Amino acid sequence: MSYLKVNELNHLGSFKKNNMKTNFLIILLVFTIGTVSAQKKLADKFFSNYGYVKATELYKKAFDDGDESEHVLTRLGDCYYNNSNSEKAAYWYSKAVNKFDIDTEHLYRYIQSLKSIGNYTEADVWTKKFIENQNNDSRVRDYDSDNLSEYKDLNAVNESLSISIENLPINSEFSDFGSFIYDNRLYFASSRGLDKTKKYGWNKEPFLDLFQVSFEEKDSKLEFGISNLISASEINSDYHEATVAISNDGKTMYFTRDNVTRKNKLNFDKKGTTHLKIYKATLIDGNWENIKELSINDEVYSTGHPALSPDNKKLFFVSDRKGGIGQTDIYEVDILENNKFSTPKNLGSKVNTEGREMFPFISKDSILYFSSDGRLNLGLLDIFKSDFIKDSIAEPENLGAPFNSGYDDFAFFGMSDKENLTGYFSSNRPGGKGNDDIYSFNAFECSQMITGIAMDSISNLVLADVSIKLINKAGKVINQVKSNENGEYYFEVNCNQQYTVLAEKPDYKKYHKDILTNLEKEKVNDHNIYLQSLIIGNQILINPIFFDYDKWNIRTDAEYELENVVDILRLKPDMVIKIESHTDSRGKDSYNLKLSNRRAKSTRDYIISRGINAERIESSIGFGESQLLNKCTNGVKCTPEEHQINRRSYFYIVK
């Protein structure tokens, strides 16, 4: 944490071996456990492929069969949460939190679900529990029960804006912060100074100096030159300098410095404290000279972080002077002639709080940006904006994520036009290069379209009434439409996001595809959907059902495919089918015939276990290797893939 943000500007039974009854119970228990486990695995398969409705059905069946594990309960909650059914999500999460010490992410989702249904009292209880388990989590740091609903919004990135944030290449292993742009130069403070042996006691880093670096824009990206100490030996002393403001004509610079004597020594007050002061310099022949202390300074309190109004008639600054509202407040003065200023005026309670208000910046359209730890925030210093200059009763607005984090976020500098907001801010958030780092940002409203036509994959005929869902990167369904009579669909989406398009229609296999949008405004992402029919001729066609070699039990991946058959039979209650199973030529003919029969019966039994009447399966017969589809008969050398072609199952429609 940098000097100028801290106190210097304020401070696991046994059983009888031959007991047949007990042995029977053991066998029954093992069978039950195995069935429930398989049920859960299948549910997991659907969950991972966004099949939340089917997953819900299967998790519920596992629950009804006695599986009340944390996994099942939280997954049921997740299914409803991802489909925006907060009431049911809260119901299942509640079962989980009251039985298990669930992980913090699921606890947070429970809290969010409670807030969504307006149960703020219960949300408050569990938020406090969350804090006990995860007190450093930025979502609940400085949590205030009275501001629960507002706090939720702070941590949600505005998806209507495309926001890119980049750690600048000019950052060092030391503290780098504060930004001011003038004439294609970036001015900033850094403790990377030449004399790294002389260090400030607060953070054991070298003292801060003022630096400048030139930059130019190439292919919509900024390229920076070499950072150098600011062009004047008089500005950078042996102690701290930071936070710059430059006049519109480029001739006057205001900056913050330690209280330093003419002999480059620190001045202390009677308590042994050195305070901050604001100085100004004049540009003479390309160098900053004629350093003067401002008359608004004092020896017993600090004054720093200068900022200019757009017309340069007012100077804003931060001070801990007597009569303020909090630890540090923001003030303003009128700039008069001959280095004179009006009496400092506190901006009042619409800006200042009992905490710290710091780093003011006024944009060209007179928006006041500043950092504060005294308002609803994500933790420590957050960046706020206010219309206070134009409207004295305006309330500050927290910029929220990603500008703010659970760490110190400060020193905002922005430039805006009708469409874009670009600029810089500083932060000590994780992932940086040093203690504090400077970040650039580019924020603009950007939307695109995902559109196309739903068609039959074989006939290419358009399909109407296809249910099409838009799913975000977190797996949450955020929109749902049906294709029109021409098979058309469209979604309006945000730029620079990942989405999944999921399409479903009775008698067809489920379809899903990931789509990544870029930063091109109003781009149309054409994406036709080709649905594969489950019924072709007199067959229900699904992907191959795989069995482990020499086995006939239904694997999870086979169950996943068989659910398509279950769905068809549920949709068409009068349909009757027959099942055929085939093997490859490896092994004895007689054994393969028995094996294929077992596999056919296992397939039948699974379908019946899913609630389909046994009378609707006319037969389930194995044909062994009697009906091979290729050359791979006994004695012919074939690849595993060629043998696989012959291991298949058919589902014929007989009624």
pLDDT tier at 194, thresholds 50, 70, 90:
low
Percent of the chain scoring above 90 in pLDDT: 54
What is the rounded average pLDDT of the residues 293-322?
95
- Which pair of tokens denotes residue 511? 């379809």
pLDDT tens-digit readout, 253-294? 999 998 876 666 777 766 666 789 999 999 988 889 899 999
- Which pair of tokens denotes residue 360? 């003011």
Q: How far apart are CA 436 and CA 199, in angstroms?
A: 16
What is the rounded average pLDDT of the residues 592-620?
94
Judged against a pLDDT cut of 70, whether residue 95 lies above it is answered with: yes
Fold for 448-533, please state it. Immunoglobulin-like (2.60.40)
pLDDT tier at 33, thresholds 50, 70, 90:
very low
What pLDDT score was predicted for residue 75? 95
What pLDDT score was predicted for residue 29? 36
pLDDT tier at 72, thresholds 50, 70, 90:
very high
What is the rounded average pLDDT of the residues 128-144?
69
- More confident of the two residues 34 and 82: 82
pLDDT tier at 148, thresholds 50, 70, 90:
low
148-151 contacts at long range (C-beta below 8 A, 24 or more positions apart): 148/115, 148/120, 148/123, 148/124, 149/115, 149/120, 150/376, 151/376
Judged against a pLDDT cut of 50, whether residue 31 lies above it is answered with: no
Sheet holding 161-167, edge to edge: 161-167, 437-445, 420-427, 409-416
pLDDT tens-digit readout, 204-257? 567 889 999 999 887 767 889 999 998 666 788 888 889 999 999 999 999 999
Judged against a pLDDT cut of 50, whether residue 597 lies above it is answered with: yes
Q: Are residues 250 and 283 in contact, defined by beta-carbon separation less than 8 angstroms?
A: yes
Judged against a pLDDT cut of 90, whether residue 610 lies above it is answered with: yes
Judged against a pLDDT cut of 90, whether residue 410 lies above it is answered with: yes
Q: How far apart are CA 225 and CA 212, in angstroms?
A: 10
Judged against a pLDDT cut of 80, whether residue 406 lies above it is answered with: no
What pLDDT score was predicted for residue 83? 77
- Which pair of tokens denotes residue 187? 């001015």
Judged against a pLDDT cut of 60, whether residue 113 lies above it is answered with: yes
The residue written with tokens 């009697």 in the block is 626
What pLDDT score was predicted for residue 34? 52
Judged against a pLDDT cut of 80, whether residue 28 lies above it is answered with: no
The CATH number, out of the four listed (2.120.10, 1.20.1300, 3.30.870, 3.30.420), of the domain defined by the range 173-388: 2.120.10
Q: Single out the residue of 608, 543, 621 nearest to residue 570, CA to CA.
A: 608
Q: Where are the domains of the chain?
A: 173-388, 448-533, 536-653
- Which pair of tokens denotes residue 119? 């149960």
For 9-23, 225-239, 414-428, 633-647, which range has the lowest pLDDT when averaged over its residues?
Answer: 9-23
What is the rounded average pLDDT of the residues 151-169?
75
Fold for 536-653, please state it. 60s Ribosomal Protein L30; Chain: A; (3.30.1330)
By CB atoms closer than 10 A (0-12, 13-18, 19+), residue 442 is: middle
What is the rounded average pLDDT of the residues 400-419?
84
Judged against a pLDDT cut of 90, whether residue 50 lies above it is answered with: no
- Average pLDDT of every residue of the chain: 85
What pLDDT score was predicted for residue 151? 58
Judged against a pLDDT cut of 50, whether residue 25 lies above it is answered with: no
The residue written with tokens 């009992």 in the block is 354
Judged against a pLDDT cut of 60, whether residue 198 lies above it is answered with: no
Judged against a pLDDT cut of 70, whether residue 366 lies above it is answered with: yes
What is the number of residues in the chain?
655
pLDDT tier at 645, thresholds 50, 70, 90:
confident
What is the rounded average pLDDT of the residues 519-548?
91
**Which residues neighbour 435 within 8 Å (Cβ) at sequence distance 6 or greater?**
1, 2, 174, 175, 191, 203, 205, 428
Q: pTM of the prediction?
A: 0.62
